[in-house]
Structure 1
């Protein structure tokens, strides 16, 4: 029998079977919660400071109190990685506004803090990254504050199921004729020596991996344009890819059934993936 994971719930490390949150928790009742996912490589945390900074912003935008300091969160992450023997994987963190009788007005209660780990042995040697992924385009029907990393993930889940039904790996969302982002990732295209990705704003999430990859691209003498692009422009690009904390840099080789470039992972995408993993390992804590 496999060993139970140890998870963290409001100050206690407990076996996952014993982990409990109130049925009155607003994360459960109203998706009144934010989250972060930090990757683990070689037992160390990737881009941890970026994730905690974004967590602070999400909490601030929702007027939600912080349940712990950055130092305390780092200690909890490290303890969970150690207790669960995570070599490559992730740590999921969620903060909800807390438990109170159901009401639309914000209650004055302590927030709920939950963390758990997942093993992901193929984070680096990903078969999807090796073969490239296919995406379909779908309408972006999410709420208008996508810059806040909330747990309102039903439509992205529906998008992934649409992609699965179409025989694709994921979906890119389109609003007013241009791509916003993937269901759980930022979207990019490459034409010649130019990398294009949607500019930051309330329409998309400010990806932590995005920030690192754009810097690496500039250091590699690529021209970076932060602007909208269409599905048609993406289909005629030389390369396309996504970034996220759990996929790093992963090539997109087909959009709505049409091959991109040579129809296989391109050299710029592959190089950016290599650079990101290399730097991530060096800077991991």
Structure 2
């Protein structure tokens, strides 16, 4: 097999492996036309997955909640992810698994159960949702005026591609010269940002939102680190005013880890640099990676794979 064609990334689509540039889905797939899909993302750090089992658990939960069954069982999905990474040759990677509704088996049907669900997976180069140089100086966070879609309408604990409100928030943030955005709900409580959970630090205590937010794996990691480091951290309501008056704030995401903010709206936090608690947690998070915390080694390429192209 010529592995050079996978150098830009490797994908699994239609039951076969392909270079990322050749990975496509039909334009009539409901995953595309209706955003009828769920997904999860796990990162690979120095040839090891981080919290792979937790991501697979959440992916299975999301599929069950949206009645999606692509056919591959958990063990097969895990093997596919390993092979995507191994084919790509990437030591640090962003690895996605997606279950899509597919197209109706019966022409013209509007019934979701008539669709042929299917799995897409891929491994591409590492992605940080906030660039590393911006992380170093402390990102600037805008609080969007668009309210987050209600939990009763779109369940935030089911990882999905409904990003219309988040994208509108990003337009607003960028128009004002800010790096990224966080949205509040209609009642004025902080929810999440595009691809990250938010933590607020006030008087030495940390809090992350209890609403409008994905149950992030990195959020869970931060809470575990806080317990290990003796920091007071909890999940609860965050009024907008608490964020605006915070001592520190940071994002938590698979795509970048712990990423501190230096400004929230027009408020400058601390000395306009990442705060001490945020920086301590960021350092601890990556140190634990170096120590093999929740690590699953990427399997080497096997000569045969039942679903390989």
Query: TM-score of the superposition, structure 2-length normalised?
Result: 0.84
**In the TM superposition, what are the counterparts of 1:100-249 in structure 2 within 5 Å?**
100=104, 101=107, 103-120=109-126, 126-138=132-144, 139-144=146-151, 145-175=155-185, 176-199=187-210, 201=211, 203-249=212-258
Moved more, 103-112 or 180-189: 103-112
Distance 1:22 1:61, change over 3 A: same
Aligned partners of 1:57 and 1:122: how far apart in 2?
Answer: 25
Give the secondary structure class of the aligned counterpart of 1:107: helix
Distance 1:125 1:280, change over 3 A: farther
What residue number does 1:31 align with? 35
Deviation digits for residues 34-88 of structure 1, max 9, x if unmatched?
A: 0111111102111111111111111111111253222222211111111111122
Deviation digits for residues 81-123 of structure 1, max 9, x if unmatched?
A: 1111112220122111222145542133432211122212879
What residue number does 1:51 align with? 55
Deviation digits for residues 231-262 of structure 1, max 9, x if unmatched?
A: 32223222110101002000011111211123
User: Unmatched 5+ residue regions in structure 2?
Assistant: 297-309
Give the secondary structure class of the aligned counterpart of 2:94: strand
4+ runs deviating over 6 angstroms: 121-125
Query: TM-score of the superposition, structure 1-length normalised?
Result: 0.91
**Deviation of 1:16 (Å):** 3.1
User: Unmatched 5+ residue regions in structure 1?
Assistant: none
Equivalent residues of 2:130, 2:139 under 8 A apart = no
What residue number does 2:304 align with? none
Equivalent residues of 1:24, 1:102 under 8 A apart = no
Number of residue equivalences: 283
